[in-house]
Structure 1
């Protein structure tokens, strides 16, 4: 798909990409969803990546909702800035290490 150049095409692309992501995630086996990636770094598995996506999405939605309502709001919580966004991502990672992925259709079938 070409890069979106309008609001409508951006919304359509967002929905299509979300459906693709959902398909990929539901097609993974339970073992693959828990498997560590073969590289060193902060986000070492599917859960870590999804937690980062969800946290940054929530920050964006909170920021845009507030600003559209006329309330000036920072994008990132204090004391973080774009220069320290890596530290914010590290904090998000640390706070979510005890979370587990929800069971999708594939894992529900595997445990039956």
Structure 2
């Protein structure tokens, strides 16, 4: 399944005006970076969000959120927000902001 272009079009403007923005095809979808650090991405019909280890467990308790990565090698600090949690632009914006807040704590690559 190709990635959801509509979701990517909703995420891109939330990221594109930020300093250090870049975009690459990854995970069979598209990934958005700030200063070389992966922040959020679109894979199939879901949003990948880098929340960091401190916010990871709390994020997983939210509706429509699951782990990200292969079953045997889940990527802690990253979550997958399923389509039910992305129906409103405000929800997408909130998840993107969470990713940005974490990535802004990292040194540029």
Name the TM-score, length of structure 1 as normaliser: 0.30
Structure number with greater Rg is 1
Q: Which gives a bigger RCO, structure 1 or 2 (Cα 8 Å, sep 6+)? A: 1
**Which structure's residues are more often strand, by fraction?**
2
